[in-house]
Each structure stands twice: as C-alpha cells, then as structure tokens.
Structure 1
C-alpha cells in the first residue's frame, strides 16, 4: 500500500514511518526509536513538505513560500531548519539517509517510506487528557445569573468613577443601541459555543514572568517586562501573539498543551526574573504546545543596566525560532523594547504602569503620575512616560469629575505629541482625551492611528466603539467591540467597557453580566467590584450590591464605592453611617461634585445634622458642578444634578432651566428623570414631578431609589408599590479607563 492510500484510509493525517522514525502530522510529533524529538514548528512544516513529495526536488524558494508564506526571510533560515531536522533524525549531512541537499537548488526526501503505518497511538506514550482551565467566580459575586486600570459603570444616584457618556441623538441613538446590544449578545453567544481555535504555526503566548527575587514588591518589574515583551512581539508581521495571560490562568494550566489549546497558540514563552542589587538574571523558555517540548531556552546573567539588550535578545530568539531571520526585524524589536536607555527611568515607568493596571490604592492615579514625572526627570525624552501622565489625568477626570485633571491631561498629551508624534501610545492617549472631552472626530482620528500598532489595537477598538455608540452608530460600535474581543477574548477591560455601554443604554441585566465576567477575569480590581455593586443597586439587588461593594472596599476604598455603600445605609435608615461614609468620600475626591451632593443628601435626612453643614455641602457640590460643566457641558446627568442643587439652595428659576436643559441633552434618561422629579417636587410642581417619576420607572430606575428619597417621602410623592427587592440609587457606574494600556499596552 502506498502513502496516498494509507492517508486516505486515515483521514489524510496518517503518520509517516521510515527507518526508526515516526512523523505524525496530526499530533505534530517526531519520534526516533520511540523517543520524542523536539523540533520547532517551522522545521516540522519543512519536513512535512518534503515527506508529502518523496523523491522530488523541492526548490528553496518553494519551501520558503510554502512554510513562511512569501515572507521576506533569508535563505539562511532554511539552512538552519534543515540542520535542526538532521539533528532530530540523527543523520550525517555528509552521508544523508533522509534529506538530500541539492546545492543552490533545494532539498528532497530520499528515505524509504514504509508500506504500512502503525497506529500512532502505539508509538506515542498515552497521556491523561488535560483538564479544562477555568477561573472561579469570586464568592462575593456569586448569585443567580439573570466594562487602563478601569472604573466600570455606576448608576442612579450612585456616584462612581465612571462618568456619563457623550450626549446621544435621541431616537437614532436608541435604534443604534438596540442594534449594538442585540448584535453583540448574539455574537458573544456564538463565540462561547465555538470550539477552541486551531493553533497558528507562527503564534505565541507570553506568560507572566515569575518574580524569583523573593520580594513581592518586585512583582511590577517581572509583570512589566512580560507586558513589554508581549507588545514588542505583537508588532512582528506574521506572528500571532495571544492576549495577556493572567497569572491565575497560567498557574491553572496543567501543561503547555492545555494552555495552547485554550489560547490557540503553537508556542509559549515563559521566563523567571531575579534582581539582586545591580545584577539581573532571566531564564527564558519557548515551548511547543503540540508536544510540550522545549524549542529554545537560555539563561541571561547580566548587569541590570543591560535589561534592554536582554529583552531584545529574548524577543529575537522567539522570532527566529518561529519565523526565521527577517531583515530589519531585530533592530525594530530593539527599538520597541528600548523607548528609553535609562534603566532607572524604565524601572520607574514600570512602577507607574503597575499602578494603572492594578489600582489597589485610593490615590493610584496620583501615585502613577508621580512615578511618570520621576521617569521624565531621569530621561526628559521618555515620551511613553509623558503619555502615561496624559492617560492617568484623563482617568482622574473621568472618575473624579475634576476640570483640573482635564487641563493637566491636555497639557501632558500636547507635550507627549511634541516629544514623539508618531508613537502609538501617544495617539491612544490623545484618543482617550478627546473622547472624554467631547471631541469625537479628533478622538477617532487618533484611534485610527493607534489601532495600527498591535500593542494598542485592542484599546483603540474599544475607544472607537465608545465613540460610535455615543453617536448612535450601534452597528459600527458592535464591529469595534467584536474586533477587540477577537484580539483579547479574556480581557476584563473589554468586558467592563461593554458593560458600561450597556449601562448607558439602560440594559442593566446585561451590564451586570458583563461586569460579573470582568471581575471573574480580574478579581483584584476594586473599581470593577465597585461598579458591579452599583449596578446591582441599580437592578434592585441590594444583598449582592453590599457584597460587591464591601469586596471593593476591602481591596481599596474608593469615593464612589463608599458613597454607594452609604446609600445602602441611608436606605436602611442608618443616616449617621451614611453621613460618615459619604464624608470620607469627600476627603478622597474633594473635587467631585457628586461626593458633596451625596453628603448633603445624607445630612438633609439625618435629624442629628446641622442645617448649616447641609447647606455648605450643597454649595460645595453646586460650585464644583459648575466648574465641571464648563469643561464638559454635554453631561446630562451633571446638568440635572446641578439643577437639583440649585432647587435645594433656593434658586428656582435656574433650577427649572437646568432641568429642561438636561432633558434636551438626551443622555441617561432614567437618572435625569429621577433627579428632575426631585427638582420639580422642590419647586412645588407635583404634577411634573410625578411625570418624571413615571419616566424614571419606565427607564428601569429601581423602586427603592424612589422610596428612600427624602424629598419624595416628605412631600407624599411616593406610595408603597407591590413588593420588589429593589434598591435606591447609587453612584452612577464609571466608564472603564484604558489604564491597562502600557508602553506596550
């Protein structure tokens, strides 16, 4: 029987046998005398090309085209691969038994293929199937299932770091939102049921580098090196690089094969990092996920100042193993991995990025800005650090409603653009800045530039999705979210971003589900836990809200989380606790008008409070809201809140004008209706108040947000409805920031 007949009987993937060699295309294994032989994916592909046409001369160019896909690789890469195959086959190049070199022409397979092929299972040691890799849902989020560093959405009178979206054009926006949400839900359902993708030959996942220094405080250095490496490799044309792999996921993988199946990659890069004084020791390994064999490994024991050259050496080895030598690529990798030549500036920069990726302290943004500023003192031309300041200030503007932060972000971004106008990190930061500042066209202009850089592509797609959704272009937003998920299907930032958009569109159950997924993927992110709590409050599930909020505070007490937990205390009549929590929130974000308005609300309901303190809180809220609206006049929710503050402070004419203006803007209709209902109630217009309450209920505002309202109870505008497990307002969810972005994403 010839090979063709055997292959047909075995589905076209029958093993080849010659001498003591068995080559199994399906299992991607090469055994000599029953012993597995490690060969890199490209070498294995060359061997298969030769075996498929035994005895024929296959030209060098044909092999390069077939295996490397018309890439500009030098013939030397083929010579190296053939040498690796000869080693695996244990043959002498001077007296070849299997692969014959036709000098200047090509190669041919000259061995004798066996007429019969044994079952591959007899030659390959049997192994137990690898268990599936799962990330358990934290207990705090467990409940019946019904978005740079980022703060997810919060809701009703929930005050959260993620603020309101850009104003939307009414009916056209709602139609676009329906298209976006329906299409996204269907697409996600299909994705969940798709089988794992088949690994691409030239593909790699970069695992989190292990910190072996013995100091947990060095985790930022190991994690930062891995992120820089991943983003540098992602810029290599023809190389697929998997999304960031969480430490939990990499630990849960039983072996390289299980993780390779899950991520759809053919190889895995892992490394350990040890810093001791001025010395740096990195041990790196590239593993074939089909066989579990090591393709390449090396230990670098160098001076810490050689960190950039060490990173470049590792990246070059990975590219050479998977793609071969590509003219000019080594120097391009070195450039991407050395945005600064100052080791001190690089180290400080990595610390700042760690604070943005994992904001486990209330002042994480401020600390990150301080680190980036120090990095610029160490290297005044370090554009990535300048872009980091822009990004962190933009985040502060979103989360704290601080006009000063917006001014700082503009200055930082302008300086970064002067320093390196072509840097994708700079374009990404500018896109985020213009998006939150209400300039969608300029935002899209910069996102379209940064999306061309693999390290920034995912964040650019999410940014463009947010812009399109705010403009009412649901189909375009859906396409951008899909592109982001294709790049990184298990990225918490993307799921939080989708959830925030769902919140803005009034799809609270979907938003809860998206944020549950986000905290499942990133269980140590306090912002996302806080937003999930706010969403639970918006949905009326106070028990789950309390668990999520307490979990967030346990990680890092943020102003919006404290405010929302204070809302729960307020609803239960514990006004003293509500006042204490909300006063603490004003100390954390003194520029945020919402924190002061919430404090005033709690003081107004607390019989033990001083009326003068209540008025001071609302005056502070109003003055800060006015400053914020000068920077972002299209924030409908902020306009409605300022109207409410003016009504409480005794300015009926301006209060009524602001209420009408808020409704005309068209954003967040549920919250705007709720706040305006209270405004009209205070203005002595109960009919208008009841109309707004009806609109608020229709938009999904939880009944407890209405029932616990001091004004509605006092003026008799609320009567008990049928029992419902709902909750009053909480801080509106905050939009996730792309603080996960790094000099490499």
Structure 2
C-alpha cells in the first residue's frame, strides 16, 4: 500500500516519492535531509534517538554524529519557523530530536481534492509568429521565454519548465487549454502572438483557466522595438495580477535583472538556445557558440550570453570535443564574469555549477547549483545538473532525488530527457547497479544517437554487467564521437570525483576494449 503523504504548515512531504513541497512548489532538500525529515514526521511528537536517526538516513553505514547535526541544522534553515515562532525540530539534549509540528496524513480523498484544486501554476506557450518572415519565430519564442523567467521568480507560483510548455505538440495548431492543463498539470495557460513589421511590434497575449477553458485576461500591445523590455514587464505583471490578485499584491517583487543594452544581443541568445540543448552534436555547439559570440560582441557584459557560452565550453570538455585543461578555466572565467554582472540571475550560478562539475569541484558545484535553484525553484535543468554533481561526487541517491524533481517540474521536456536519462545511468553506475545503468544509457542514446557521453557510460556499464556485445558496440560509437577517448583521458579528465568510481568505470571500458 502506498505510503501516505504528510502535511504540516505550508509543506506536504511525500516519503515514497521523495519530494517536499512548500505551497505546491518543490523544495530543494537533500536526500539525507529528506530521509531524516520523513523519519521524524512519521513519528511526530516522539523523541527519536541519534542512533535511530543515523540508521534512518544512513542505513548500514557507520557515520559520525556530526553528519546528523549538520543535516538537522540544514533542515531547520529550510523549514523556517512555525507560525508561533518555534522551530519544527526540537533538540532533546544528549538523546536526539523531536518533530514538534502537527502532522496531517493526507488520504486518497484529500489527494483527489488537491488534484482538483492545484496550487497556483501556469504554463507559458510559445507565442505564435504572425510575421511574414519565418526567421522571426525566435523573437516570438524569446518573448515567451523571458516571461517564463520572470514568472518563475515568484516562489508561490509553479511555472512549467520551458521545454515542456514549448513541446512540439502545441505548435501550429489550435490550443485546447483544458488538454494542456491535463498534460502539464497546470491551472493556467498563457499564450499569444507576435507580429513584427519594421520597427513596430503588435503583441497579443491571453491567460486562460484550464479547468473551465475560460479566458481570464487578454491584452494587445502596439509598441516600438525600443519599448520591448518594458513590454515584457507589463505582460508579466498583467498575467500575475489576473492569476492571483491577492498573492500578487502581497508577494510580487519585480524581477529587475539587467537587460542587454542591445536588442540584437538578446536576439542572438534566443536563436542560440535550441542549439545549446542538443547535448550531443559538435556542429550544434558550434552554431550556438557562433551566435553567442555575436551576442557578446554586441554586449560584452551580457550575463546570459556569457553564462551560456560557459555552458557550451564545459559541454565540449565532457564530450571530449576540447581539451578540458584548456576550456574549463576559460569557462569558469566567463561564468564568474556573468555572476559579477548579475548575481540575481539564476543562469549565472547554473553555468558556474556546471563548470565546477566538469572540473571535479563537487562542493562548489553543489553550492552554485543550489543558489540557482534558490533564485528560480522552477529551473528544471539546474536540478538535472545538481543530480550530476551528486552522482559524480559519489552520492547517487541524492542525484536521483534531484532528477525526480526535474521531471516533476518539466514532465514533457523532450530536450532535457536524454540528459536526465544519462545522469540517471551515471547515478546507478556509481551505486553499482550496472544493469540499471546500462538500461538508462540505452534509452538516452535511442533519443540522442550522437550523445557521446551516454555511449561512453553505456559501454562502461555494459562491460561491468558482463554484456560484452553491447559494451563493444557502445564503445565503438563512443570512440566515433570522441576519437581521443582513452583510459588515460578518463583517469585525468572524467568528472567522477572518487577514485573507486573511476576505477570501476575504467574496468568497464577496458572490458569493452578501451586501451
């Protein structure tokens, strides 16, 4: 029988699914923290000894009590205080801890009610390009993408990730908002259209309730291109006001991230985005970098352009398309420059975290990616890379936890799915579940046949699982995409932090035939 969900204050804990929600939004809780919270919440009001809690969070593993203290302190910061100012977790000196809050067990009826009345949530669909020039599609999509970023800064509003709401099945067809609501699990849908003529824009936008199909709000804007960034703020404010007026009045704080000084710079970044998430192709990365260079030429300090360029360089290191010792320092420099110019942009910290992952700096990677998620709790890709940071760092269960959060945030994300699958395979490999690892990597290469990192881990996993035919084939594909792949390269550059994990990875690749 499935374990019941536990509600306390603004939180809902699902021990079985491994999720914690605050007012319907996922909370970035660590895997050990989630195990501890689950144990205490199940036994609310009772004192759990330190040994009981250590066994709950680190079963079968000998760890120092200081680890427990660190995790409890982190939980307290995460949960904050109760309405009366007291803490959710009380210390019982020399014994252990006690969960002091009132727990409500949510039964199936409550779950059904919760499903019928979800927390405020919205999906922003790609705006339709009505211009004669098909090249202007990037302009329409870029407008929707920037609105997503602004809305996502509101911690009370669940915003469906870009790659799910931009799903191909919603393009070029009449939108059934009820169907969108069912498929994406959101209460509201925002859509619209863009028509560009010379230096003028006509933009129409509307928000609809997915439960009724009723249009809540609609507006049309006729502006000069020079007013474009102001227009984005107006649309975001109007939508938030229509969706939840009371919360808007109480909690909305305008997102004032620095816009680029040049509309051309913004446009180049928007054009680069689809190529950045290819995960696999050198030619795709080359196109993205060419566009990002043009953005940086137009505005050298544009944080988003610098961040994404850092991402592409780190991707080249992972895929064996560039010497890591050469590109990673440059990538780190660009990411840090982006943070210096806009520390409130989650993408700057996200890029820095990815670079740290590739350079085997696990602690810095986790810190940077956690910052990105704090700034934008709906940034699904940050959960994917945080999962990779934990996997490469030797904490596979923590990694799988964040992958589950990424899939919750972006349930139809075809662009990120290969990355999610290959990181899942990595986590299972580190946990020595080699058959599971091979299964996930096999699914990844089916979706992205040119994904060299997935072929490489498939070869290692299949080799460790004893499937020589699959291992040999996977290695041949990996070497086709990464001709310089060798045992020495893995030992020197592969992002696995622990020597025992790299040794197992190399053993699997040697079984597949790598020298």
Give me the TM-score of the superposition, normalised by structure 2. Answer: 0.64
**Alignment partner for residue 595 of structure 1, among 483, 489, 510?**
483
1:442-499 Cα offsets, whole Å, 9 max, x none, are: 1111112111122664233222222222333333223222222222233346543442
Counterpart in the other structure of 2:123: 205
2:230 paired with 1:230: no
Which residue of the other structure, out of 153, 167, 183, is the alignment partner of 1:262? Answer: 183
1:482 aligns to 2:404 (yes or no): yes
1:543-572, Cα deviation, whole Å (9 max, x unpaired): 9x99xx9xxxxxxxxxx9xx629x8xxxxx
Counterpart for residue 372 of structure 2 = 450
> How far apart in 2 are the matches of 1:314 and 1:394?
35
1:374 and 2:294 are equivalent in the alignment: yes
The answer to whether the 8 Å contact 2:204/2:219 transfers is: yes
Q: Is the 8 A contact 2:181 2:189 kept in 1?
A: yes
- Name the CA shift for 1:237/1:499 in 2 (closer, same or farther; >3 Å): closer
> Does the 8 A contact of 1:376 with 1:385 survive in 2?
yes
Question: CA, structure 1 residues 446+530, in 2 after alignment: closer, same or farther (shift >3 Å)?
Answer: closer
**Cα distance in structure 2, aligned partners of 1:530 and 1:634:** 13
Deviation at 1:299, TM superposition (A): 1.8
* Structure 1 residue 257: Cα displacement: 1.3
Corresponding position of 1:440: 362
The answer to whether the 8 Å contact 1:271/1:283 transfers is yes
372 and 247 in structure 1: CA distance in 2 versus 1, 3 angstrom threshold: same
The structural deviation recorded for 1:393 is 0.8
Look up the SS of the partner of 1:451 in the other structure: helix
Give runs of aligned pairs for residues 128-139 of structure 1, distance below 5 A.
Answer: none
Q: Pick closer, same or farther for the CA change 1:377–1:267 going to 2, 3 Å.
A: same
Residue 564, structure 1, aligned to residue 486, structure 2: no
The answer as to 2:413 corresponding to 1:491 is yes
Superimposed CA distance per residue, residues 328-355 of structure 1 (whole angstroms, 9 cap, x where no aligned partner): 977614x24x532421221122122232
Output one character per residue of 1:596-655: Cα deviation in whole Å (capped at 9) or x when no partner: 56xxxxxxxxxxxxxxxxxxxxxxx89xx67x866669689xxxxxxxxxxxxxxxxxxx
Q: 1:149-200 CA deviation, whole Å, 9 max, x = no partner?
A: xxxxxxxxxxxxxxxxxxxxxx99xxxxxxxxxxxxxxxxxxxxx9894352
Quick one: which of 131, 135, 145 aligns to 1:217? 135
Partner residue of 1:667?
Answer: 505
- Aligned in 2, Cα 1:219/1:511: closer, same or farther, shift over 3 Å? farther
Q: Aligned residue pairs: how many?
A: 392
Q: Distance in 2 between matches of 1:633 and 1:200?
A: 40
Identify the match of residue 234 of structure 2 among 308, 313, 320. 313
**Contact kept in structure 2, 1:344 and 1:375, CA below 8 Å:** yes
- What pairs up with 1:721-740 in 2 under 5 angstroms? none
* Matches for 1:401-550 after TM superposition, within 5 Å: 401-403=322-324, 404-454=326-376, 457-492=379-414, 495-504=417-426, 505-506=428-429, 510=436, 514=440, 527=450, 531=454, 535=458
How far has the Cα of 1:370 moved from its partner? 3.0
TM-score, length-normalised on structure 1? 0.46
Is the Cα–Cα contact under 8 Å of residues 534 and 564 in structure 1 kept in the other structure? no
- Determine the structure 1 residue equivalent to 2:217: 296
The 2-side partners of 1:530 and 1:213 are apart by 39
> In 2 relative to 1, CA 304–510 (structure 1 residues): closer, same or farther, beyond 3 Å?
farther
Distance 1:215 1:533 in 2: 42
- Deviation (angstroms), 1:595: 0.8
Aligned to 1:695: none
CA distance in 2, matches of 1:471, 1:406: 18
User: Which among 334, 339, 344 is matched to residue 264 of structure 2?
Assistant: 344
2:357 and 2:416 mapped to 1: Cα distance? 17
Q: CA deviation at 1:318?
A: 0.6
- Bigger Cα displacement from structure 2, 453-462 vs 427-436: 453-462
- Give 1:301 deviation, angstroms: 2.0
* Unpaired segments ≥5 residues, structure 1: 1-68, 70-170, 173-193, 550-559, 568-581, 586-593, 598-620, 637-660, 680-745
Q: In 2, distance between residues paired with 1:348 and 1:360?
A: 21
Q: Taking structure 1 as reference, are residues 538 and 468 closer, same or farther at Cα in structure 2, changes over 3 Å only?
A: closer
Q: How many angstroms apart in 1 are the aligned matches of 2:369 and 2:280?
A: 28
Q: Which residue is 2:161 aligned to?
A: 243
Larger Rg: 1
Higher RCO structure (Cα 8 Å, ≥6 apart)? 1
Structure 2's unaligned 5+ residue stretches are 1-22, 24-59, 62-110
- Secondary structure (helix, strand or coil) at the match of 2:189 reads strand
1:150 corresponds to? none
1:644 is matched with none
- On the 8 A contact 1:427/1:450 being kept in 2, the answer is yes
Structure 1 residue 297: Cα displacement? 1.2
Pick which of 425-434 and 476-485 moved more. Answer: 476-485
**Partners in 2 of 1:215 and 1:542 — Cα distance?**
50
1:699 matched residue in structure 2: none
1:321 Cα shift? 0.5
Deviation at 1:673, TM superposition (A): 3.8
